[in-house]
Chains A and B, each alone.
Chain A
Amino acid sequence: MTPKPEILNPWQRGVPVEGKIFTPSVLLLIALALIGVGFALARTIGGLGNYTGMSSAYAWGVWKTFNVMTLTALGSGGLAVGLAAWVFDRHELHVVMRTALITSFLFYLFGLLGLAIDVGRPWNFYNLLFPWTWNVHSALFEVSLAMPIYCVVFLGFENAPAVFERLWYTGTPKMRQWATKIRPAALKAYPFVIAGAYLLPMGHQSSLGALMMLGGDKVHPLWQTQMLPLLYVIQAVICGFAFVIFILQASALTWKRPIDIRVIATLCSFLSYTVFIWLGLRAIDLTIRGVWGLAFEANYLSLVFWIENLTLLIPAALFMTHKFKHTAMWTFKLSVMAILGGMLYRFTPTAFAYHPSENASYFPTVPEFMITVGLISASLAAYAIAVKVLAILPAPTQAWFKQVDDWRLHYPEEAAYADHHH
């Protein structure tokens, strides 16, 4: 693990970001989240129709099509980087796992909250407790059962080490004792649990695609395919990689951290390969179904189709070269491009390519928009707070020693425990 001499600041461990937690930007995000809460309360009391642009023809609005379909794809970093690090045995990626996992947890959490705001009779969710009411053939059932379990149980477990680590350094002696006690058991279970944490999203991320198969002719034939589940789950992995590349660099810029371009470059390679697999599968699917002609019709949907493909193909192709994946400016810009392409693909089948036969249209209203903004703001605020409280963002080793000293400074009477641990 000795760093190559030319690398000045390799990432070695997660270290909390220094500084005030409630900065003006975090307060602004919280304010936006609270406005969203206000609208959500109004919507709950006043009924969906009075606050949203949805109708029985366009029955799903931005909360489902964007917050659930699109943002949980961005929240698949835990799946994508996890597979790369543990299954493909890439040890250099462990250092960014915590960043991937916290973003996954937050996007899933607030995506599910969006789902709870969206449904008209949320109180009937109690049926989740009664297996005899379950329609196990329904893809939406799988989503509503597996997504909360994945978020709370699996992502909770995967994010727990960061929390316990903090408790171990700054908690009371009792907490430290407890953290030390459960550590061996948790370590033993770890490989078995994270295998589940990769299996589960493969199921529910593909089920999100399966939802639109039931939409039948309402979904444009360029998108309507029995391969939707497979394309959706692979797209989730693409979005996961792209978003982790983006958020690592955005965080480094925001909090003035060094960037370890070797790690970023590894992630970029994984992004490339996944995109090529995805584009290949999509090309095969269009060929088998014989609908390539639709891609060359002069309408805006064929434009959307090509934007989807090109915004993924361009970053993937450029990341195949050493230069682009080792230049921070390019990895940042191209990851944003891949994110937009991936989001567009996950959004389109439920939005642009969704055409009910009835003469109706949909555009989100101000309350719908503000609730969506509120949910996104809440996840960003939570992220900004989490990286200051917990050792999440990767940094050089020196930063870690400084941090531990800081923690001891705050809790001088506890310092002895940390010193005597080894």
Chain B
Amino acid sequence: MGVTRRQALQVLGVGVATKALGKSARASEAKDPSHYDDTLGMLYDASRCIGCKACMPACNEANGLPADTELSEGLHQTPLRLNAQTKNIIELCEDKATEQHSFVKRQCMHCLEPACVSGCPFGALAKNAENGIVSWRADLCIGCRFCEVACPFEVPQFEWKAFNPKIVKCELCMHRLPDGSAPACTEVCPTEAVIFGKRGELMKDAKNRIAKNPGFFYEDRVYGEKEAGGTQVLYLSRVSFASLGLPTLTYGSLPRYSTKYQSILYKFMAIPTLIYIGLVALIRRSWKHHQQQAAEIERETGMLEQL
């Protein structure tokens, strides 16, 4: 997609605007997957998860979120799905075909090319250029919820009941990282079902596990390697990914898919400029006829033309 609309706006005379955009714009240009090896992510191995849900209260505590206790009438944390109080959830799933059961952990996937960031009108959602964490800024968000429409994993959660609603999603505990801590969910996991690390290393680890035990994991592949153009959170599972609620995606990187032709159309604003020049030429030709006609009518009837 690249420079496109940025250049478009430069031509329109708001060059100031675009200088500051540099960083986020460049982040969306096509890159080799290895470029993202050093970004931070998680590897969740569903076959190791015992469903203890220790990661859920740990997440709420680390992020200062009150637990969702609505279903249990205030007794304990019982969210049904990700919501404005739940950035991380463990769900029990059944593969209807094989009648196998498995837990699944859900949170932001931290896409390599996030659709939410691409759609966000004022850059309230942004992907960090170094660690790749996708995070949200309150002062830029207009609450349009395009991120929710765009996210193929349906992760961002809007505070529907609030007067000044926030977008709530996993930000990989980025506020804890400077102290040397890892994301809270990975620190408390007793079976190391979810581990934290750099994407490149996690990918190697996941592929090692597959290589050591061929046929054990579903389709012998890592979910998140290619999905949505690649994600920083990776999944291994014994049951089908679809039965875990991990969608089968056909369009790859959505930012790339959705701006493929726009990038040509808006390049240097050349085509819109040409269209404008053509329109002016045709309209002025018609305008001449119209003015002649109007003058005639005015002479005959005394009525001024109506535009």
- Chain A residues 179-196 with CB under 8 Å of chain B are 190-192, 194-196
If over half of A's interface residues share one DSSP class (helix, strand or loop), that class is named, otherwise mixed; here it is helix
Cβ of B119 within 8 Å of any chain A Cβ, yes or no, is yes
Cβ of B145 within 8 Å of any chain A Cβ, yes or no, is yes
A400 to B301, CA, bound (A): 11
Q: Given A140-B119, A214-B119, A125 and B142 touching (CB < 8 A)? A: yes
Q: What is the CB-to-nearest-CB distance from B20 to chain A, in angstroms, rounded to a whole number?
A: 3
Q: Given A122-B143, A191-B287, A135 and B24 touching (CB < 8 A)? A: yes
Structural contact, A59 and B148, CB atoms closer than 8 A? yes
Cβ of B295 within 8 Å of any chain A Cβ, yes or no, is no
Structural contact, A132 and B21, CB atoms closer than 8 A? yes
Q: Which of B52-60, B185-193, B217-225, B251-259 contacts A (4 or more CB under 8 A)?
A: B251-259
Structural contact, A138 and B275, CB atoms closer than 8 A? no
For the complex, count residues of A whose C-beta is within 8 A of B.
Answer: 77
If over half of B's interface residues share one DSSP class (helix, strand or loop), that class is named, otherwise mixed; here it is helix
Structural contact, B121 and A141, CB atoms closer than 8 A? yes
Please, which residues of chain B bring their CB within 8 A of the CB of A262?
A: none
Cβ of B141 within 8 Å of any chain A Cβ, yes or no, is yes
Structural contact, A191 and B119, CB atoms closer than 8 A? no
- Chain A residues 406-422 with CB under 8 Å of chain B are 421-422
Cβ of B176 within 8 Å of any chain A Cβ, yes or no, is no
Structural contact, A59 and B145, CB atoms closer than 8 A? yes
Cβ of B71 within 8 Å of any chain A Cβ, yes or no, is no
Q: Given A91-B290, A198-B279, A357-B247, A49 and B160 touching (CB < 8 A)? A: yes
Q: Of A121, A203, A217, which is within 8 A of B152 by CB?
A: A217
Interface size class of B (residues with CB under 8 A): 35 or more
Structural contact, A47 and B165, CB atoms closer than 8 A? yes
Structural contact, A213 and B258, CB atoms closer than 8 A? yes
Please, which residues of chain A bring their CB within 8 A of the CB of B123?
A: 133-135
- Among residues of B, the one whose C-beta sits closest to the C-beta of A199 is B276
Q: What is the CB-to-nearest-CB distance from A126 to chain B, in angstroms, rounded to a whole number?
A: 10
Structural contact, B161 and A49, CB atoms closer than 8 A? yes
Q: Of B5, B156, B283, which is within 8 A of A142 by CB?
A: B5
- Chain B residues 1-58 with CB under 8 Å of chain A are 1, 4-6, 8-9, 14, 16-21, 24-25, 28
- Among residues of A, the one whose C-beta sits closest to the C-beta of B165 is A120
Query: Which of B158, B260, B296, B298 has the most CB atoms of chain A within a 10 A radius of its CB?
Result: B158
Structural contact, B279 and A137, CB atoms closer than 8 A? no
Structural contact, B257 and A226, CB atoms closer than 8 A? yes
What are 26 of the A-B contact pairs (CB < 8 Å)? Answer: A47-B161, A47-B165, A56-B83, A56-B145, A56-B158, A59-B145, A86-B283, A120-B144, A121-B143, A122-B143, A127-B142, A131-B20, A134-B9, A136-B21, A137-B255, A139-B119, A140-B121, A191-B284, A194-B283, A195-B276, A195-B280, A196-B276, A199-B276, A214-B118, A214-B149, A357-B245
